[in-house]
A and B are shown apart, each in its own frame.
Chain A
Amino acid sequence: MEIWFTAFHNVFSPMAMLFICGGVLMGVMLGAIPGLNSTMGTALLIPFTYAMDATTGLLLLAAVYCGGTFGGSISAILFNVPGSPEASVTGFDGYPMAKAGKAGKALGIAILCSCIGGLFSVGIMNLISPQLAKVALSFSEPEYFALAFAALTLIASLGGTKMTKAFLVGFVGLLIATIGIDPMSGVERLTFGWSGLIGGVNFIVALIGAFAIGEILMTAEKGSKIDGEEEVKVSTEFPSLVEMLKLKWNVLRSAVIGTLIGILPGVGATTASFVGYSEAVRWSKHPEKFGTGIADGIAAPETCNNAAAGGAMVPLLTLGIPGSATTAVIIGGFMVHGLQPGPMLFLNQPDLMYSIFLAMYVSNVFMLFAGVIVAKLFSNFRKIRYSILGPCIFVFATVGAFGISNSMSDVWIMFAFGLLGYVMKKYDYSVAPLIIALVLGGLAEESLRRGMRMEDYDLIAFLSRPISGTILAVALATFLYTLYSRMRHKPNLLAGEMKQPSL
């Protein structure tokens, strides 16, 4: 209890509160601007923490991390350009909802669910960090493959009435994910001698291209002055209690998934949001509505990615292993103050650890306010005519793609994906399966190959391991059920292009 009092004193001092609130606000702002993110923000802030005491400095970094994880969803919802990779899935339903004039509601759901997800994971981290870290370490290649496979089966539901086309797009995404150096053999695959492809296709570049540039090209084709939403209610509108109660199981499930995936080293909030979304689709009574702008489609990824952010702190604090890119940077924050995160830190500096826990609670609560402030600022941009907004989005998309690795190759790849996104939109191919496959392709391939080698090339061994076997069985069963129900009730829907626009 004495430790908690010390932590309380550390966190609720005026200076610490100023840094925490400022950090969250800064994180949300950084997350909302494409090309900037919380990883970059925390990295840039580390030198500033030199001048602070270790506790204040680390509280600031944790606050930026919490805010940045949510911030990306603001631009994903309003402009279909995710500010950070973690928010990629949020745009699937957030943007259609905003287009339908419910931007404020979409933002409200995103902010509240992010807060709930964040608080849940910090609570779990606070209570059972060491035990969770042990579970995370028991995950091996077959389990990682099972996770990727389960998320990929989501494509069956995402395709809506066009399952064959959705899977075709999904496999094209898996193919694109193989471009670059094979991490297991070092062989260059499908680069055709272009050095820009050696590092592979960054999925955030592909995402910006397919969604933002694709949309700009579609709008350019339509022509004429396209008015902004003069009458749109731009203020954030939090969901009512009744609406939240409808989302309760989705939010709870996503919070658990996010926390667990966040704990796994190297997987991170982006994968968590995809898996969370896929599970929301899987367990929904109306999977066909996902992608059209429904609350469940925003609640799942937002709860998941913020829960994963908290989860990623578990291996960092308990084992000294970073669970994500940003937590890897935060390790640097510990080190500049001469601290080594890990089990010994719990023994030697328990007040610091509990201060971080408490700061993350405060950060997640303050995110409600910071989210509203930044969302209000960004919402106003929707009032602007597309003839002005479109070129601005293009410039931000270009800088965002360039900023990932300071390379023009990424900008060209973005353009190529823009053309692809245009063609896909025009001929009614869903872009979501392409992005999901691109994100999870690397994980699926590597974990399958490593796992097979580990299990002496026996695929059955994947099923006989308790965790991977259970995940694979559930994924396979639900996939087959989706397939069966489509074929049984509406056989034509497997191909179904009833309203397909003609060439």
Chain B
Amino acid sequence: MLKAFLKADVIISVILFAVSLYLLSEIKIYDSGSVYGKLGPAYWPKFVLYMIMFLSVGVAFFSIKGVLQGTIPPFERLQFSSANLRFGAAVALIAGYLLLLPYVGFLVLTPLQMIAFMFLLGERNKVLIFSIPFVLTLGIVLLFTKVMYVPLPRGAGVFLEISHLLY
């Protein structure tokens, strides 16, 4: 029985139900009397949230029913593997890149991030690892800043000065 309750669909449904319940309380603030007429700013989100709660219950119900009837494979215990580690590293790499981008700038940070990412994805050809990131970054910087006038992040301090050499 416990296995059924731990099915991914059930966990997702419970999370969605709880979040919807919380958001309903947030949304109610927008219904401030009759200023906006009968269909105020809270009307549509409220309808959507009720539907999410209803459908969450439906998904959880069908999932539990499926596990109990044996038509859906039961829950398997989470096991730590190298796949989890690679996924975690990829997420950390992306998050770190986005966090540092405003401070280090696109020109300096992007090749470093690409090298790390290529290595993480299993690339071992050193020539490619140390050429493609620099060529691509330079190409993108020139295309987006010189031709399309997109102000890519330049960074701060010394990185800003480096970026100013190109754009």
Contacts and interface: CB of A to CB of B under 8 A. Distances in A.
Contacts of B130: none
B59 A164 contact: yes
Interface in B82-134: 82-84, 86-87, 89-91, 94-95, 97-98, 101-102, 106, 110, 113-114, 117-118, 120-124, 128, 132-133
B44 interface: yes
Interface string A413-450: 00100110001000101000000000000000100110
Interface residues on A, range: 35 or more
A303 to B, nearest CB: 29
Given A165-B59, A168-B59, A445-B44, A492 B71 contact: yes
B48 A402 contact: no
A189 B39 contact: no
Interface size class of chain B, counting residues whose CB lies under 8 Å from the partner chain? 35 or more
Interface string A156-194: 000000001101100110110010001011010110000
B41 A168 contact: no
A387 B94 contact: no
Contacts of A182: 30, 41
A226 interface: yes
B52 A399 contact: no
B36 A185 contact: yes
Contact of A178 (B38, B44, B148): B44
Interface string A468-493: 00000000000000000000000010
Given A221-B87, A449-B39, A500 B72 contact: yes
Majority secondary structure of chain A interface residues (helix, strand, loop or mixed): helix
Nearest to B144: A399
Nearest to A451: B39
A36 B140 CA distance: 12
A103 interface: no
Contacts of A135: none
B48 A175 contact: yes
B8 A498 contact: no
Interface string A320-348: 00000000000000000000000000000
B87 A408 contact: no
B101 A223 contact: no
Contact of B7 (A35, A386, A423, A502): A502
A464 interface: no
Contacts of B43: 449
A213 B97 CA distance: 14
Contacts of B7: 502-503
A185 B40 contact: yes
Interface stretch (A57-65, A74-82, A311-319, A388-396): A388-396
B123 A452 contact: no
B63 to A, nearest CB: 7
A212 to B, nearest CB: 12
Contacts of A44: 147-149
Contact of B41 (A174, A187, A402): A187
Contacts of B118: 387-388, 390-391
Interface of B: 6-9, 11-13, 16, 23, 26-27, 30, 35-41, 43-45, 48-49, 51-52, 55-56, 58-59, 61-63, 65-66, 71-76, 78, 82-84, 86-87, 89-91, 94-95, 97-98, 101-102, 106, 110, 113-114, 117-118, 120-124, 128, 132-133, 136-137, 140, 144, 147-153
19 contacts: A44-B147, A168-B59, A174-B48, A184-B41, A187-B41, A189-B30, A189-B45, A217-B91, A220-B120, A221-B87, A225-B124, A391-B114, A395-B110, A395-B137, A396-B140, A403-B144, A415-B95, A448-B44, A495-B66
Q: Which 4 A-B pairs have the closest CB atoms?
A: A495-B62, A220-B90, A387-B123, A225-B122
